Structure 1
Amino acid sequence: MIDFIKGTLIIAGSLFMLLAAIGILRLPDLLTRMHATTKAAALGVMLIMLAAAMHFAETSIVARALAIVVFILMTAPVAAHVIGRAGYFVGSKLWSGTVKDELRPNYDPLTHELKSGMETQENAKRQPRDTDPD
């Protein structure tokens, strides 16, 4: 029964990693590719590490496998965010089907400065609103 569970985890992990690789090849822009690799590849590696921990069942190997899983959980989203943000700042083209670009009103491409949400809210409060008494 344990062999069946280990085999299932390895196959599922491999399929998720294959899905991430296909996502890199098929998805249209950097941001959607980053989404595919972060989610699918990270889950695939975690499933394979779980299978390895179950297979060897030694304390030191289980601790290492769990440390790898925790490391991936902590670093994959941060790395994807940084790479995606850097790609946006250097002018990577967005997909033509992108509906909303929330960074555009807050990003100055000349100075490469990004206004925070608080600055945008404060500027909106300072600007006089056109109120019509009628």
Structure 2
Amino acid sequence: MSVADAVSAVLLPSGAAFCALGALGVLRFTNVLARLHAATKPQTIGLVLILIGAAVQTGSPAASATLLLTAVFQLLTVPVIAETIGAAAYHGGVVPPGSLVLDEGGGEGP
């Protein structure tokens, strides 16, 4: 077993476990913000671990670069999407302002 095989043997199942736990969190959590957290944080970490594990296994630098660029794109776009969905839920009245510890929206709900 090579070092690349050992690294992939750790990264790929770890990434899959993060993704599975994120999906479980989306099903089990009760409010929008908790579900949003479960849909973004562990899913992103899981996907990045899977992509790195796959990049280690590829023999081609071009394929590895494509996988790593996909990971960077994921890390750049998911926080923006999460903030947009959270703001839409807040302004749509789905998130009760009383449930927030810090309300930076100024209570400008519907």
The structural deviation recorded for 1:77 is 0.5
Question: 2:108 aligned with 1:107, yes or no?
Answer: yes
Q: 1:76 & 1:69 partners in 2: Cα distance?
A: 11
1:46 is matched by which residue type in structure 2?
V
Instruction: Select which of 40, 52, 55 maps to 2:54.
Output: 52
Q: Which residue of 2 aligns with 1:122?
A: none
Q: Which of 19, 22, 37 is the equivalent residue of 1:20? A: 22
Determine if contact 2:93/2:109 at 8 Å carries over to the other structure: no
Percent sequence identity over aligned pairs: 33
- Counting matched residue pairs gives 108
Q: Displacement, 1:101?
A: 5.0
The structure having more radius of gyration, on CA atoms, is 1
Task: Note the residue ranges of structure 2 that are not aligned, 5 or more in a row.
Answer: none
**Worse overlay, 100-109 or 7-16:** 100-109
| TM-score w.r.t. length of structure 2 | 0.87
Higher RCO structure (Cα 8 Å, ≥6 apart) = 2
**Runs of 4+ displaced beyond 2 Å:** 98-101, 103-106
Aligned-CA RMSD value: 2.0
1:8 aligned residue: 10
**Tell me, which stretches of 5 or more residues in structure 1 are unaligned?**
110-134
